[in-house]
Amino acid sequence: MLTNYYTLRALVWEWNPRLAGARILDGYSQHRGSLILVFEDVQGGQWSLNTSVQAPNMHIFMYAGANRSRKNVVDVFPELRNETVERLRIANRDRQITLQLTNGSCLHFFVYGPKANVYLDHEGITSFRGDFTTLPALRSVVDVPSAEAVESVLASGKMLRSVLPLFPKKLIEEVWYRAGGIQDPTTITSVIGEMEDDLQNPSPRIYWDEERKPLLSMIRLGHIAAEGEKMSSTDEAVRVVARRRLALHRFSGTYDPLIRLLKKRVVQSENGLSRVEEELSKPGRADKHEHFGHLLMAQAHTLKAGSDEVRVADILGDGAEVTIVLDPRLNAIENAQAYYGKAKRSREARKKSMERIQGLKRTAQNTQSLYEQALNLQTVEEVKTFQMKNEGHLKALMAAPEDPDAIPYRRFVLDAGYEVWVGRNAKQNDQLTMHDARKYDLWLHARGVAGSHTVLRLRGRTDSPPKQIIEQAASIAAWYSKARTSGLAPVIVVERKYVRKPRKALPGTVVVEREKVILVEPGLPE
């Protein structure tokens, strides 16, 4: 509400006695979008008029004295130096402020909207910002809408703002508050008239909005519980709010990137710790792999080479039959040795996870502590002190790589450690297929229906997964498609290198070559 009509009107009322007869000493800019005019009043006192037409911090206010910098300053409107002010006025029911000079020249201030600027009308129109030679058109606004106009707006379902274009959001809310929430045209019209009378005698107050930003009002706002900070003048109120907002803007520019980084790293460290803890809570695969190795060794003489799987009696357990996935390129003894190797690697990985979890806990605790400290920072100086004090930790957090385990896709781990990744939406489908899947990975998709892109990740270019693994992956692909309820569903299986995206196609749209189709029952692995 810094550049609201009622605020600008109150400023003009306050400034006129001060500026009438004042002489312009200087005009310059030392910040982008900011114009400073220096005046000498009839008593010899100096005043500076600070105007900013740079969003989001537009404002206009005065302060005593002049503080022109010695460098990085651009002179503005030099032809106005030593000219005398006749009077200051504001357009009727609009936000154009005009500084009228005794030589007939005028300065027009527009401190709102996309065309915010200061225009000099002196032998033609010139502007402070850009090369504009035409003044923005003024609006024609009625003083107080009639009860009939209010009734028409209410009946049509339009916003009350349509008949109160000069009332900002907070004043509209005040209308409803004072009217008791009753949609009675006569009551609302009466309330608007009362508020217009109040605005004729400004009583500036500073409140805080929902985002803890300072908010200026020319009257007491009853719908806000707080009394607000009373100010001695509108000029002082605008100056205080503008400077607080500028300070807040500078603070946000320093603080926001810091807090975003810390929050992101807190989430990442917590997720990483949770994944490791969850993995450790599951029964280890080592015993199972070792058990399969023992069974294969014990019954090697009965097994035929070249099989994808085998069903054998669990002679080391309850005697029930179990299915063991095999590498058809290996004999029984070699497959048993492979399972022993998996058991060894599983135990080593589990041991490393146990060691890693302590480091993850420390990282999570330290990051959470930094985040909680940062939440209490309130000034730029405090942010800078915090950054200097924790420089080493913050550099490490900034350089921390993204967690490779934190993939965005649905993830399934099949027998023998094979992984299946499934996209969750069109954007993920596109990323998975065209970027994250390797050329030799197997790409799967339910044929003829909409569904998720599915990738069976292989161990290398020469890897040939068992038939059972491919069928499991195909079942997953069918499950995440429109064929989920089918008894059997056809699923395309092809190497990723034979899947391409047409030029300018929408995300997830692909063309498949050399496709092979298998029939599977939709379902997820146990």
How high is the mean pLDDT in each 10-residue block of the chain (526 residues)? 93 96 96 95 96 92 92 93 96 94 96 91 90 82 84 88 91 94 92 95 90 89 92 95 88 89 86 73 73 84 78 83 82 85 78 76 88 90 92 80 63 82 93 92 95 92 88 94 88 95 89 90 81
Give residue 510's pLDDT. 92
Helix (H, G, I), strand (E, B) or coil at 205: strand
DSSP string, 31-79: ETTEEEEEEE-TTS-EEEEEEE-STT--EEEEEES----SSS-EE--GG
Judged by DSSP in three states, 495 sits in strand
The residues that bridge with 490 in the sheet, in sequence order, are 519
Specify the pLDDT at position 403: 52
Give the model's pLDDT for residue 102.
97
CB-based contact 106:99 (threshold 8 Å): yes
What's residue 331's pLDDT?
85
Name the pTM for this structure: 0.60
DSSP structural state of residue 80: G
Per-residue model confidence (pLDDT) at position 133: 84
Contact in structure between 508 and 485 (CB atoms under 8 Å): no
Confirm if 30 and 36 have CB atoms less than 8 A apart.
Answer: yes
**CA-based angle 299:300:304, to the nearest 5?**
115
Residue 299 near residue 312, CB atoms below 8 Å: yes
Helix ranges (H only) for 415-461 are: 426-431
What residues does 413 pair with on adjacent strands?
419
pLDDT at residue 272, as a whole number? 75
